[in-house]
Structure 1
């Protein structure tokens, strides 16, 4: 992971790239949010300034935005969640530490600056390990991807369809949706979430295994059997 805060033009700043990386966001979405602030923030150029970076794969220049502490604070107001709060605090601490070192440097000798720089590097490495641990924990909490949700939904629908005996069965019209609802309820109960979309991304394989073992409850299975054993009267 890159440094959270760097020095640029004698000012402590961070970039839209680093914000996107740390908060697990799409960089284009971060740029979109920053552009949205232009309409309501009169001193936007005092907080943010445009720049470019070279993409490592195609070597083409792409847009990025640097921001100072106030600019970051304004942007991060929209980031929610317990982990997001912890990352906001780490950014603020990094800004404060960098700005403090800049002020102290004006009163220090070259030798003192060198010693302080080495100590800062040690401190940064220690903080970086903590941030990396937080990122690892955050990844555990990231919800299922769109593709993973699609695979899980298809499996649940297929299980429910098999349970009622297919579309041509007597139980299909009355109990197919009931079977799907019961199936999802058991998955959500297992992971203790309000919606299957809140299942952690890294638990996808577990969710698929659990879904694969699903069978309708005794009550539902009996009702399906009862309906499917009925002989439809010929008109």
Structure 2
């Protein structure tokens, strides 16, 4: 059963990837027979469905030719002429809009991809070789910048950068508690609460579950944040109260 289903999937993927776009005097079209085969319906059923679309379009004062163009074809060894439609990209949109599930998604992905590739090819064919080279270089540059941007927006800091933040945090805690010899710093409870408050505020500011998952693009800002952090509320009062004891001792 697995091999049977797997072969069906492969045949469907091949069918989707082999959609042929027709260039008719600069207009890009798809044969309704190919669409029927792709979405796995009888061609006659698709023709009937398209006929309904055309009636609705014409009743609504739309040009049906912008969506579906009547055409014919013959079969080898048979002189009889059969009806078909040449479907524009807008027509494909209309067919796909009525479909749901996997078939609809795959058909949409296939025709959009093929139309875009053909349009790109046509736009390039009208350019000089120099312009084509510039265009291709620009595309590669955009693709490279997109990958760099993706990495910057998804890559987290490494161990060395994590250690840098930890060292900055240690320095900040010493400062805000009044130095390593201060009562507030020597009080393990207050010192622990200060570390907890710093990283809690840090996680809220950078929307992360740990400073270790800070994004590379935010690293410089993260160092500034840790260096500039200051306690507030009850923690600040506890620090001041603890250190005031040294002043009166």
TM-score by length of 1: 0.44
TM-score by length of 2: 0.41
